Structure 1
């Protein structure tokens, strides 16, 4: 137990160092990072809009410029995505990631990125459906499992939404520019940007809520049943969704669909709205994205995770002291091991979240340091970070199956019922269906 906690502590300390390094770089940029966690589109758009000649859509006056736009979006041209960015002080000399090895790695991975993320999304969609089916069974109902069900629903929505965008952006290449930049596809891209952002941030808030929930269960076991009720779990899920919708309001206003007529071709392109360009909404949106949607959740989850690990160590020592005074400690040992498995599983969820979110938050913040060149790294590593976020949304089913005996038992029962069989729950020594831990905290 102690070695596992030390391992998790080491990982989280690394993430805290990353967060500390990124905490003093909040400045208003001319270029912006991606406002859509699961979408490469705005990263490509940022690479173009970072150049003064593409900061608005009045400069697209020739077929050659149109082809440049088409190559940047359809092929993710290394030259287009690695152009020198432009800020208030002029051209920037890149200091990082501007090597042949970085660009070669980016080009090679990008060639398989579309299929990789599509496979992850298809697997994750099926896995999250199974999570929902199992966690909503009568024997699995609990406040904690309600939060995990909400997490599975949000992850499922993010992945289902990503599939058509992935096909449009990466896989369906044999199209004319009119087809690729039709009004329908522009609506899909804009919808995908907002929809995925809202539900991904809802997933982030649910993960933080889950950490708070588990901390209460470990630090205040007597009051936990009173504080963490099913009704409050449902209210927490609704509150996270409403909070996410409200926090993303500037993002809704930041982008709009622009119609451009070029040499008898009508194209529809998603870009900054007039409100964003004329009233400084870009800077407000960047602050909300980098601080509210990224930095604060990572900081909160890091602090909660460290506090939770400290409480787990204290609880382990208390349990050992009780067992040493109790001659008949078999039941206490069993309950302690069950609770330990749940704690390890939930800590794994938190660590995976930090592994996928902290690099994105850190690099997004560093990318706006004047003359530092981190924006170049953001473009080149965007595909990898996008894949990590999607992977994190798909992997919970594997964690549940590997670490929760009750989840495995219920999953087998569901599969047997779907196969036309009926299986009875295992009986423990008291002739009661085996449960992993108390219903108020189970999975």
Structure 2
């Protein structure tokens, strides 16, 4: 295994790690609470596909933050992120499980975000509002079908990552005590072109770059449609203009709110996609886990992902009247 260490002195690295872990823990804890609130509010009066998907997004984003909370607290506060630290086997399994959970829930959030963009695009540009599909006499809600398909795709897409890393037992450099650490499996080491590169490109291109490109295009069409709707509104008679303006303004705000959400998603995902793609290009040296753990760029991208999973509450409350109404009703304000 090629050891990767922090730059600078070990004591400075530990101090920086504690600061980073503490900041991450605060953001993740706040984000988990806010996403629970998001789920309660959107699920309270879910009358359409978009509301149900936003409620599901609150669940997955909350689980993303909870997984990263475990990961960061262990590595940066309880222990230390280097191989010679006194890691137990149980601690390393906790890290591996939280790492894979983070990838899985984050991918599920990504798929729900893409689904939100597609559903809103169909509604805005084509007026498609059907929320129930009648398949051979069996009525299936669209949102339930989307969530089920997203779950199945997530399971299949993240399954290859479970063969990438393993727990490695070794003797510490400074002591003779047994230590445990994470390294690539023998299967990954022996199948660089057949396994490592395709997995990282699958993660970086198929499930990151392509969805981002789709979202950008759909968002552009939605913004164009909203602008056309505003122009049509001015041609309506004065008698009907007030009622139409009141209804369409909220409709347009919700559309623009979803555009903001998906575009923030794009901005946060592109750096991770590029890093995964480049990691695949390095072939035998592709340690995506180590990159995220040890590099400054990896830490910044992790924080961006965490902030993205936390930010939706502030977007909802600033741009959606319905969310504010449900929030007041929930707390009887």
1:275 is aligned to: 187
SS at match of 1:248: helix
Q: Residue 256 of structure 1 contacts residue 273 of structure 1 at CA under 8 Å; is this kept in 2?
A: yes
The alpha-carbon deviation at position 131 of structure 1 amounts to: 0.7
Alignment match of 1:212 (pick from 84, 95, 118) = 118
Q: Residue 136 of structure 1 contacts residue 149 of structure 1 at CA under 8 Å; is this kept in 2?
A: yes
Q: Mark the CA change 1:292 to 1:415 in structure 2 (over 3 Å): closer, same or farther.
A: same
Q: Residue 197 of structure 2 contacts residue 280 of structure 2 at CA under 8 Å; is this kept in 1?
A: no
Q: How do 1:413-424 residues align onto structure 2 when only pairs under 5 Å count?
A: 413-416=329-332
State the structure with bigger RCO (CA 8 A, min sep 6), 1 or 2.
1
Q: Mark the CA change 1:366 to 1:413 in structure 2 (over 3 Å): closer, same or farther.
A: same
Q: Residue 250 of structure 1 contacts residue 284 of structure 1 at CA under 8 Å; is this kept in 2?
A: no
The alpha-carbon deviation at position 148 of structure 1 amounts to: 0.3
Q: Is residue 2:253 matched to residue 1:253?
A: no
Q: Residue 189 of structure 1 contacts residue 270 of structure 1 at CA under 8 Å; is this kept in 2?
A: no
SS at match of 2:168: strand
2:319 is aligned to: 403
Unaligned runs of 5+ in 1: 1-53, 56-67, 81-103, 417-422, 424-443
- Cα deviation digits, residues 96-130 of structure 1 (max 9, x gap): xxxxxxxx9x9997663212211110110110111
- Cα deviation digits, residues 61-96 of structure 1 (max 9, x gap): xxxxxxx76xx3xxx33489xxxxxxxxxxxxxxxx
Q: How many residues align?
A: 315
Q: Is residue 2:239 matched to residue 1:327?
A: yes
Larger Rg: 1
- Cα deviation digits, residues 235-267 of structure 1 (max 9, x gap): 101111110110112111111222224674222
Q: Residue 218 of structure 1 contacts residue 315 of structure 1 at CA under 8 Å; is this kept in 2?
A: no
Moved over 6 A (4+): 106-109, 174-179, 227-230, 375-378
> How many Å separate the matches in 1 of 2:39 and 2:304?
22
Q: Residue 204 of structure 2 contacts residue 272 of structure 2 at CA under 8 Å; is this kept in 1?
A: no
SS at match of 1:136: helix
The alpha-carbon deviation at position 276 of structure 1 amounts to: 0.8
1:10 is aligned to: none
The alpha-carbon deviation at position 134 of structure 1 amounts to: 1.1
The alignment's C-alpha RMSD in Å is 3.1
The alpha-carbon deviation at position 363 of structure 1 amounts to: 4.1
> How many Å separate the matches in 2 of 1:301 and 1:255?
32
- Cα deviation digits, residues 152-196 of structure 1 (max 9, x gap): 000111111222221111112489988732110110111011111
SS at match of 1:358: helix
SS at match of 1:141: coil
2:47 is aligned to: 141
Q: Mark the CA change 1:225 to 1:174 in structure 2 (over 3 Å): closer, same or farther.
A: closer
Q: Is residue 2:95 matched to residue 1:189?
A: yes
TM-score, normalising length: structure 2? 0.84
The alpha-carbon deviation at position 141 of structure 1 amounts to: 3.5
Q: Mark the CA change 1:209 to 1:174 in structure 2 (over 3 Å): closer, same or farther.
A: closer
Alignment match of 1:314 (pick from 228, 231, 242) = 228
> How many Å separate the matches in 2 of 1:341 and 1:153?
23
Q: Mark the CA change 1:107 to 1:259 in structure 2 (over 3 Å): closer, same or farther.
A: closer
Q: Is residue 2:24 matched to residue 1:117?
A: yes
The alpha-carbon deviation at position 226 of structure 1 amounts to: 5.6
SS at match of 2:239: coil
Alignment match of 2:304 (pick from 384, 388, 391) = 388
Q: Is residue 2:59 matched to residue 1:129?
A: no
